[in-house]
Amino acid sequence: MKIMVAIKRVVDYAVKIRVKPDKSGVETKNVKMSMNPFCEIALEEALRIKEAGLASEVVAVSMGSAQCVDTLRTSLAMGADRAIHVESMSDRLYPLNVAKLLKALVDVENPGLLILGKQAIDDDCNQTGQMVAGLLKWPQGTFASKVVLDKEKQTATVDREVDGGIETLSLDLPAIITTDLRLNQPRYATLPNIMKAKSKPIKKVTPEELNVQIRSDLDVVEVSEPPKRKAGVILSSVDELIGKLKNEARVI
Amino acid sequence: MEKRRAYALLWQWRASSRPLSSNHRSLLPNSLLTSRSSDSGSMFNFGRSFTSLSSFTEQQRQSFQQLLNILIDRRVLHQGTFLRSSNLPVRFYGSAPVERSASFSEINTKDITYFKSILRENNVIQDPDRLQPANTDWMHKYQGSSKLMLLPRTTEEVSHIMRYCNSRHLAIVPQGGNTGLVGGSVPVFDEVIVNVSQMNKIISFDKVSGILVCEAGCILENLESFLDNEGFVMPLDLGAKGSCQIGGNVSTNAGGLRLLLVQHLHENSSVGLEAVSANGTVMDMLGILRKDNTGYDLKHLFIGSEGSLGIVTKVSILTPPKLSATNLAFLACKDYLSCQKLLFKARRKLGEVLSAFEFLDSHAMDAVLNNLEGVRNPLPPAVHNFYVLIETTGSDESYDRERLDTFLFRLMESGLILDGVVAQDINQVSSFWRIREGIPEALMKFGAVYKYDLSLPLEKMYDLVDEMRARLGNPVKVVGYGHLGDSNLHLNITSPQYNDDILAQIEPFVYEWTSKHRGSISAEHGIGLMKANKLYYSKSPEVVQLMVSIKRLMDPNGILNPYKVLPHCLSANN
Ligand SMILES: Cc1cc2nc3c(=O)[nH]c(=O)nc-3n(C[C@H](O)[C@H](O)[C@H](O)COP(=O)(O)OP(=O)(O)OC[C@H]3O[C@@H](n4cnc5c(N)ncnc54)[C@H](O)[C@@H]3O)c2cc1C
């Protein structure tokens, strides 16, 4: 069985986000970009399944500009066998378009499992996994915090963190899984694996070759910063605090 | 985007790569209770992130609350550790007993009244609970018994304090973030603590020249985040950045982790300062020019003088532009010789982009893995004899990365590197740095730590660690780590309690050994109280005598940081 993993290149989570002056989006020029943390978890899970002898190949796929190759290289260094880059300069790679591209790739590759992060930390959409499940008519286990595969029965058992507890699902393969934070702790890229990754193939395709039209089904009106938090003040006495709570905040 | 920060925090906590700041000890309480700075830096977003948890599942929310509780617990814990008797005899491990000089007066109520007349009343601190941490050093090795701490807000206030103390013969200890490691920042007896933490304003920043002018009480990490927004970096970085102040850094001539890339404070062409001398005179030596050759360059006297010549009130510093492309590798080597060879090759092949080269031995690694929460071994399962961190900083990420990779592959093939990982994102960068930066904190958990910060010839450096290990035997732990790129060894020895027998085994052996190999007994931490009587190991009698003359000229009554820096037999009050 083959596992396909979707990888998104995003602004590194540790970078302080700056909104472009014209409010059209987030500044990405000269900003450190890295793999979406949830995608890292998705990849780690795929690698563990393969290492347990339940899959034969892990294919990492990414959509976007030419620099996505760097992120795919990281996934190869973590242990993916090969990668596919759907090159597109479009700024319209919204979830539905990405889901269509993923479906097209699935049609070519025929994986038994498609694993994605539950969401990307840049747009917080949390839609792609669900949409691609709909397009493929595959069962889906979202927000997975535990995944167990049964090779004979061809099923995946998925634990999901829901409000107040855990929900356990059993899915028939092929299936879609989206990963939550606690599923696993991704590995580091070791030197020997980085070395090996240099010679692993990254195939490039275009949306046209996959017969997918990147259509704009929505417009971003404006991106704005959260309101600035006011600086705190240090008070010298409890009396002063009570005074302020009474007279300024009017809460007591 | 708010959620993004929340993920970031949760993520960071789950991966637990790094406590929320590199030094949560004193940053934490403040930043949880007040917002000290703009909302940059991971801690300062806490409030915002916390309000945005609505999209989290119940479990995640609980985890977050847990995280918060842990943080609050820690705060209590740290306060708790200060609760010990203040009537300890004034006998510090690592130095001969000192006696209080009879030439100093004691504080009386008139003094307090005077200080209250020149400072805001709430900046005259007599509350024992607030004095306790200020009387205790970071390692809990030195304990003073000061009854008074003053928090001036302006240079004039500092000047008034000094003039008054000088006329009254009241001894003073200038204190910054109190992270110093040689007992220089805490009173020995009842010296008045003068802390400029309230002087924390950034005065100006010139984007063209990169010159920053700020007050001395600015916390290093806050300056870092301020500059980060402007596209610049501070030319120094150390594990204590969350607490230490720029005035303290200048006064100790702090070096730190990235000295390879940036210059030493003495070489920073635009470091300048404003200082107040013992008699209250304000001396403006702020440099806002890159070139200035007019007379004696006196600011150098203050850099590294550890508060013994004046109180630094403002600092100017030349900051380099931020280079966005940082790469970091965490590597394993089989022996110390390999680490040396690696440094030699890194200097040749990585040249100008090499920004840090640090090493630690397996004992340091063990301490970090066992004593710090959430740190994970990047190269499991083995613990190797030596680890090296190589950081490159440049302007072209892919090119630098390619160069580093090629360099590392070659050395891995040749066997010089046994294994290694290269950070793929900033979180991984922080996790690897956390190991190196967390060593002092991890060692503290063993109990007592004897710290030696030595400059030694590179090839001899680790011999001392081996010799000490053989000399001391079990159960004493001997740990070696440091800035290999600067030939700077941190030799740390830990035992459950401070103990005279162990100390007698270490000193003067370490100093004699260092002196014999023409090393320095203080590479960067300074002399403080700990090494005041050891100065002769690194400086000739003539040079020490000149230092004493300068001290007498600038501080005739010897009120500034007495018992520190200079040998006690020569100090002004004897
Ligand atoms: C975890 C940790 C890591 C460290 N790493 C490094 C490192 O890598 N490199 C390195 O060089 N050092 C390191 N240090 C020690 C270093 O000396 C201090 O952290 C820092 O430079 C001191 O700043 P501070 O504001 O805490 O000063 P304090 O500790 O408060 O004071 C240090 C000395 O400076 C004097 N002083 C402070 N402020 C003023 C002022 N405004 N005017 C006049 N005198 C003043 C004090 O009297 C004292 O003698 C480390 C310390 C810790 C705890």
> How does pLDDT run across A90-107, given as a tens digit for each residue?
888 999 999 999 999 999
CB contact under 8 A, A122 and B4: yes
Q: What is the pLDDT of residues B171-223, one digit of tens each?
A: 999 999 999 999 999 999 999 999 999 999 999 999 998 999 999 999 999 99
Alpha-carbon distance of B298 to B285, in angstroms, equals 8
Over residues B261-266, the mean pLDDT reads: 60
**CB A30 to CB B420 under 8 A?**
no
* B198 CA: distance to closest CA in chain A (Å): 11
Q: Is the pLDDT of residue B60 over 90?
A: no
Side-chain-side CA neighbours of A14 within 13 Å: the count stands at 20
CB distance A17–B427 less than 8 Å?
A: no
Chain centre to alpha carbon of residue A162: 19
CA distance A127 to A150: 27
Query: Which residue's CA is the nearest one to ligand 1's atom 18?
Result: B180
The pLDDT score that the predictor gives to residue A232 is 80
What whole-number distance in Å separates Cα of residue B478 and Cα of residue B474?
Answer: 9
Residue A250 forms part of a structural domain: no
Residue A143: domain span: 2-224
| Strand stretches in B49-180, DSSP E | 124-125, 149-150, 172-175
Is beta strand B477-483 parallel, antiparallel or unpaired with respect to B354-361?
Answer: antiparallel
Tell me whether strands B419-422 and B124-125 are parallel, antiparallel or unpaired.
Answer: unpaired
pLDDT mean over B299-307 = 93
Nearest-CA distance B5 → chain A (Å): 8
Q: In the predicted model, is pLDDT for residue B28 greater than 70?
A: no
Task: Assign 3-state DSSP to chain B and report helix, strand, coil percentages, each to 5.
Answer: 40, 20, 40
Task: Please say whether the beta carbons of B90 and B98 come within 8 A.
Answer: yes
Nearest CA to ligand 1 atom 9: B256
Residues of B within 8 A of A234 (CB-CB) are 34
| Domains of chain A: total | 1
Domain edges within chain B: 202-318, 325-517
Identify all chain B residues contacting A77, using CB atoms and an 8 Å cutoff.
424
Domain presence at residue A229:
no
For residue B508, cis peptide bond before it (omega within 30 degrees of 0)? yes
Residue B266: the pLDDT is: 65
A14 vs B279, which has greater pLDDT?
Answer: B279
Which of B21, B149, B244, B305 for a ligand 1 pocket mutation test, highest count of atoms within 8 Å of Cβ? B244
* Domain B202-318 classification at class level: alpha beta
Residue A234, domain member (yes or no): no
Q: What is the ipTM of this complex?
A: 0.87
Which of B39, B423, B427 shows the shortest C-beta gap to A229?
B39
| Bond from prior residue into B133 cis (ω within 30 degrees of 0) | no
**Chain A residues near residue B423 by CB distance under 8 angstroms:** 188
More confidently predicted of B131 and B91: B131
**A13:B4 CB<8 A:** yes
Measured CA to CA, the distance from residue B527 to residue B542 in angstroms comes to: 18
A76 belongs to a structural domain: yes
| Choice between B382 and B412, residue whose per-residue pLDDT is larger | B412
- Whether the predicted pLDDT of B29 surpasses 60: no
**Which residues, listed in sequence order, are joined to residue A161 by a DSSP beta bridge?**
A166
Which residues pair with residue B34 across a beta bridge? none
The per-type count for chain A, helices as H runs and strands as E runs, is: 6, 11
Q: Would you call B358 helix, strand, or coil by DSSP? A: strand
- Whether the per-residue pLDDT at B55 is higher than 90: the answer is no
Quick check: is A38 in a domain? Answer: yes
pLDDT of residue B443: 95
In a mutational test of the pocket of ligand 1, which residue from B18, B25, B146, B175 has the highest number of ligand atoms less than 8 Å from its CB? B175
How many residues are given for chain B? 574
Q: Is B237 exposed, middle or buried (0-12, 13-18, 19+ CB in 10 A)?
A: buried
From the list B98, B101, B108, B250, the residue with the least C-alpha distance to B174 is B250
**CATH number for A119:** 3.40.50.620
With respect to residue A69, please indicate whether it lies within any of the assigned structural domains: yes
Which residue, among B65, B59, B54, has the nearest Cα to B9 in the 3D structure?
Answer: B65
Query: Residue B401: is its pLDDT beyond 70?
Result: yes
Residue with tokens 């000295």: B259
Global pTM reads 0.80
- pLDDT single digits (tens) A12-68: 998 888 888 898 888 888 888 999 999 999 999 999 999 999 999 999 999 999 999
Instruction: Indicate whether residue B242 lines ligand 1 (CB < 6 A).
Output: no
- Regarding the beta carbon of B176 and ligand 1, being less than 6 Å apart is answered yes
Check whether B27 has a pLDDT greater than 70.
Answer: no
Dihedral over alpha carbons A22, A27, A28, A30 (to 10 degrees): 110
Question: Is pLDDT above 80 for B294?
Answer: no
User: Residue with structure tokens 């058992």?
Assistant: A157
Residue A180 falls within a domain, yes or no?
Answer: yes
Classify strands B124-125 and B272-276 as parallel, antiparallel or unpaired. Answer: unpaired
Q: What angle do CA A73, A77, A83 make, to 5 degrees?
A: 45
Least Cα separation, residue A1 to chain B (angstroms): 28
Q: Is the pLDDT of residue B316 over 50?
A: yes
**Per-residue confidence band for A188, with pLDDT thresholds at 50, 70 and 90:** very high
Band (pLDDT 50/70/90 cuts) for residue B371 is very high
Mutate to test the pocket of ligand 1, among B18, B26, B135, B179 (most ligand atoms within 8 A of CB): B179
Beta bridge partners of B192: B172
pLDDT at B42 over 90: no
In a domain, A251, yes or no: no
Q: What percent of chain A has pLDDT over 90?
A: 73
Q: Is the CB of B254 under 6 A from ligand 1?
A: yes
The class that CATH gives domain B325-517 is alpha beta
DSSP state of B42: T
DSSP secondary-structure letter at B159?
A: H
Tens-digit pLDDT profile for residues B510-552: 999 999 999 999 888 889 998 898 888 888 899 999 999 999 9
Tell me whether domains B202-318 and B325-517 share a fold. no
| Chain B contacts in chain A segment 151-210 (CB below 8 A) | 161-164, 181-182, 185, 188-192, 194-195
